[in-house]
């Protein structure tokens, strides 16, 4: 967090800084730019970097240019070609962390990896920063598995298609991703409005139900309204048990979605 504060003081907008907890079972997607560098920071000195389509030498004609001083805890990257992609394995404290690089209109200026890989392992609720990082990784999972099959995350995931019918719309669970260490599930839900008018709903009240148990979303990404005769995609993050501690829910459970609406 000290590094995050230093970057903000240096003038990097908070929206361009991403923070993720360390998890060697995941692949982190980092967005790069042709015009601006992106700096990745770890909690300590890095042991080794092994890359694909990534090089420190322009003569190699790589898609991604890497700048790194041995023994330091950070490195910087910049895309050299339109639509450049690359991959990097970072050896840190005897573990390997996988990064995938893509070019984007809105790149990440800084990516800070936090030294908290086992959030919720002792029954404590993950922080908001951790939950946001898990949500972002779940959203990127399908693209990473397609572009980098050799680096696909070992995270548990499923595409159940469970349908919940409401009077004016339907809610379909398109995918579920589970993060074991944090005891957290990320749901991607498809809301489809069949009316000629928008359908409002309460994003703060979103939840999932399993049998007689209800799990309120700890974090949501939802607009609060479904446009007329249209589809809206929302995300729900469920972490731990309602009364505290771990819930150990599986992605293969038969969940239904609770969408509070007038």
When pLDDT is averaged across residues 71-97 and rounded to a whole number, the result is 94
Reply yes or no on whether the pLDDT at 7 is more than 90.
no
Residue among 124, 98, 123 nearest 113 (CA): 98
- Domain boundaries, given as residue ranges, for the chain: 2-117, 157-258
pLDDT at 236: 96
Q: Does domain 157-258 sit in CATH 2.60.40?
A: yes
Reply yes or no on whether the pLDDT at 56 is more than 50.
yes
Reply yes or no on whether the pLDDT at 117 is more than 90.
no
pLDDT at 189: 97
pLDDT in tens, 194-209: 999 999 999 999 999 9
pLDDT at 89: 96
In the chain, pLDDT over 90 holds for what percent of residues?
A: 60
pLDDT at 4: 46
Other Cβ atoms within 10 Å of 194 Cβ, number: 14
Other Cβ atoms within 10 Å of 128 Cβ, number: 10
pLDDT in tens, 216-259: 999 999 999 999 999 999 999 999 888 777 888 889 999 999 99
pLDDT at 144: 58
Reply yes or no on whether the pLDDT at 150 is more than 60.
no
User: Which tokens belong to 98?
Assistant: 């996988």
Output the CA–CA distances (angstroms, integers) from residue 103 to 6, 30, 68, 119, 145, in the order listed: 25, 9, 20, 30, 17
Class of domain 2-117: mainly beta
Reply yes or no on whether the pLDDT at 119 is more than 70.
no
When pLDDT is averaged across residues 129-143 and rounded to a whole number, the result is 82
Residues 6+ away with beta carbon under 8 Å from 111:
17, 18, 19, 20, 28, 30, 38, 39, 40, 41
Output the CA–CA distances (angstroms, integers) from residue 178 to 56, 82, 157, 213, in the order listed: 36, 33, 6, 18
When pLDDT is averaged across residues 74-79 and rounded to a whole number, the result is 96
pLDDT at 126: 83
pLDDT in tens, 26-36: 788 899 999 99
What average pLDDT does the chain have?
85
Reply yes or no on whether the pLDDT at 79 is more than 90.
yes
Higher pLDDT, 141 or 237: 237
The three-state (H, E, C) secondary structure of the chain, written as one string: CHHHHHHHHCCCCHHHEEEEECCCCCEEEEEECCCCCEEEECCCCCCEEEEECEECCHHHCCCEEEECCCCCCEEEEEECCCCCEEEEEEEECCEEEEEEEEECCCCCCEEEEECCCCCCCCCCCCCHHHHHHHHHHHHHHHHHHHHCHHHCCCCEEECCCEEEECCCEEEEEEEEEEECCCCEEEEEEEEEECCCCCEECCHHHCEEEECCEEEECCEEECCCEECCCCEEEEEEEEECCCCCCCCCCCCCCCCEEECCCC
What band does 182 get if pLDDT is binned at 50, 70 and 90? confident
pLDDT at 200: 94
When pLDDT is averaged across residues 168-196 and rounded to a whole number, the result is 92
pLDDT at 204: 92
Where is average pLDDT lowest: 4-13, 54-63, 192-201? 4-13
Indicate if 157-258 has the same CATH topology as 2-117.
yes
């Amino acid at each position: 967090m000290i590094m995050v504060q230093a970057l903000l003081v240096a003038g990097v907008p908070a929206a361009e800084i991403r923070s993720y907890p360390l998890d060697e079972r995941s692949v982190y997607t980092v967005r790069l730019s042709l015009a601006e560098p992106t700096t990745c920071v770890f909690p300590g000195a890095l042991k080794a970097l092994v890359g694909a389509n990534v090089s420190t030498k322009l003569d190699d004609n790589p898609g991604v240019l890497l700048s790194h001083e041995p023994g330091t805890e950070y490195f910087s990257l910049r895309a050299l070609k339109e639509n450049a992609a690359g991959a990097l394995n970072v050896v840190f404290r005897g573990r390997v962390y996988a990064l995938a690089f893509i070019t984007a209109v809105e790149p990440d200026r800084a990516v800070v990896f936090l030294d908290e890989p086992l959030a919720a392992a002792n029954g404590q609720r993950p922080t908001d920063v951790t939950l946001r990082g898990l949500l972002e990784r779940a959203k990127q999972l399908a693209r990473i598995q397609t572009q980098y099959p050799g680096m696909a995350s070992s995270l548990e995931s499923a595409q159940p298609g469970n349908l919940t019918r409401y009077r004016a719309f339907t809610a379909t669970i398109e995918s579920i991703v589970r993060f074991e260490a944090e005891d957290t599930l990320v749901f991607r839900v498809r809301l489809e409005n069949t009316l000629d008018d928008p359908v409002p709903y309460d994003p703060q009240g979103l939840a999932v139900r399993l049998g007689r148990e209800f799990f309120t979303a700890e974090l949501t990404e939802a607009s609060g309204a479904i446009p007329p005769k249209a589809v809206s995609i929302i995300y729900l993050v469920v972490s731990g048990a309602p009364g505290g501690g771990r819930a150990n829910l599986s992605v293969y459970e038969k969940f239904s979605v609770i969408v509070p609406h007038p």
